[in-house]
């Protein structure tokens, strides 16, 4: 997220060189990972296998959509796999926006690993597991190229000052973001996205910035005894904070989902 006023971070080199210039206004992409599936729970590599949301995943999508709709998005894009399109559907219903399906937002193709559990992969493919390279699957660089290219294309199609919600998958989002931010895709510097959580990228003047990461995984606040009885935690809602862990994070975020 952007630092507050007074933080010693130097000049904002992504600021518009022409005040009020429409072309140089920030375009924001909210990159939203799909909700939970049964394969997530079982820690199975999903890849491009078309696994749908389970009941928890559908509930996560409905709850997260209520928050994201409040941001007033201008467009919705989604992977064409069922778990991503199913996550986008509640937001489309709330906003009235169509869902633009894009196969370039699909998850990494897992080759021989698709459908296998993490333990099965570890036991049967120990060498490939150490470098996380599925035989017959999509190379890391190819996933990063494909996802980053889709994010660039979506941003280029958006007007300055607009927000696009992009529903995709854990590896595709992580590798695509790393490519745009100049981070090594294999190092996994950015932590994994939990089910139905999201990250936010800003694009302006040809530069990308990470504005928020893994939103939606905050725990429930502890009660504050000083707030008095009958007043709950004593905390006021804070705009921009995500869902509670039970609502958004789910389980089985995995590495192939």
Looking at the domain assignment, is residue 195 inside a domain?
yes
pLDDT (0 to 100) of residue 185: 80
Residues in contact with 159: Cβ distance below 8 Å, sequence separation at least 6, in sequence order: 22, 25, 27, 74
- Of 83, 94, 88, the residue nearest 30 (C-alpha): 88
pLDDT (0 to 100) of residue 233: 43
To the query of whether residue 38 is one of the catalytic residues in this protein, the response is no
Q: Which residue in the list 7, 22, 34, 112 is annotated as catalytic? A: 34
CATH code of residue 172: 3.40.50.1240
pLDDT (0 to 100) of residue 188: 79
- Of 210, 188, 189, the residue nearest 200 (C-alpha): 210
Residue identified by tokens 């199975």 is 44
Identify any residues that bridge with 29 across adjacent strands, giving them in sequence order.
164, 201
Q: Which residue in the list 107, 138, 185, 212 is annotated as catalytic? A: 107
pLDDT (0 to 100) of residue 226: 84
Q: Answer for the pair 190, 30: CB distance below 8 angstroms, yes or no.
A: no
**Cα atoms in the Cβ-side hemisphere of radius 13 Å centred on 61:** 27
Residue identified by tokens 């140089």 is 24
Domain containing residue 94? 24-217+234-248
pLDDT (0 to 100) of residue 256: 67
Q: What is the pLDDT along the chain (257 residues), one digit of tens a residue?
A: 343 444 443 344 444 444 444 557 999 999 999 999 999 999 999 999 999 999 999 999 999 999 999 999 999 999 999 999 999 999 999 999 999 999 999 999 999 999 999 999 999 999 999 999 999 999 999 999 999 999 999 999 999 999 999 999 999 999 999 999 999 887 778 899 999 999 999 999 999 999 999 998 666 678 888 876 544 444 444 333 344 333 333 333 345 67
Looking at the domain assignment, is residue 19 inside a domain?
no
pLDDT (0 to 100) of residue 18: 46
pLDDT (0 to 100) of residue 10: 39
Looking at the domain assignment, is residue 148 inside a domain?
yes
Cα separation of 54 and 243, whole Å?
19
Structural domains in the chain (count): 1
- Of 152, 137, 147, 211, the residue nearest 174 (C-alpha): 147
To the query of whether residue 34 is one of the catalytic residues in this protein, the response is yes
**In angstroms, what is the C-alpha Rg of the chain?**
19
Looking at the domain assignment, is residue 255 inside a domain?
no
Looking at the domain assignment, is residue 211 inside a domain?
yes
Looking at the domain assignment, is residue 122 inside a domain?
yes
Residue identified by tokens 């996994």 is 188
User: What token pair was written down for 129?
Assistant: 């597991």
How many Å separate Cα 144 from the centre of its chain? 14
């Amino acid at each position: 997220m952007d630092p507050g006023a007074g933080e010693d971070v130097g000049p904002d080199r992504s600021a518009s060189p022409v005040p009020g210039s429409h072309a140089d206004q920030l375009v924001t992409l909210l990159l939203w990972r799909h909700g939970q599936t049964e394969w997530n729970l079982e820690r199975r590599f999903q890849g491009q296998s078309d696994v749908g949301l389970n009941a928890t995943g559908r509930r996560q999508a409905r709850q997260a959509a209520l928050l994201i709709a409040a941001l007033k998005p201008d467009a919705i894009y989604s992977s064409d796999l069922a778990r991503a399109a199913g996550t986008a559907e509640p937001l489309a219903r709330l906003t009235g926006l169509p869902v633009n399906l894009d196969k370039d937002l699909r998850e990494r193709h897992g080759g021989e690993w698709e459908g296998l559990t993490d333990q099965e992969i570890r036991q049967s493919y120990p060498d490939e597991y150490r470098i996380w390279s599925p035989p017959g699957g999509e190379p890391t660089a190819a996933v990063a190229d494909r996802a980053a290219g889709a994010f660039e294309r979506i941003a280029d199609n958006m007007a300055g000052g607009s927000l696009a919600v992009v529903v995709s998958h854990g590896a595709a989002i992580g590798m695509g973001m790393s490519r745009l931010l100049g981070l090594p895709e294999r190092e996994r510097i950015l932590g994994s996205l939990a089910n139905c959580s999201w990250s936010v990228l800003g694009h302006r003047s040809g530069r990308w910035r990470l504005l928020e990461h893994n939103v939606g995984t905050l725990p429930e606040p502890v009660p504050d005894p000083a707030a008095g009885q009958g007043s709950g935690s004593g905390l006021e809602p804070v705009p921009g904070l995500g869902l509670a862990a039970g609502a958004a994070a789910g389980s089985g975020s995995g590495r192939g989902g």
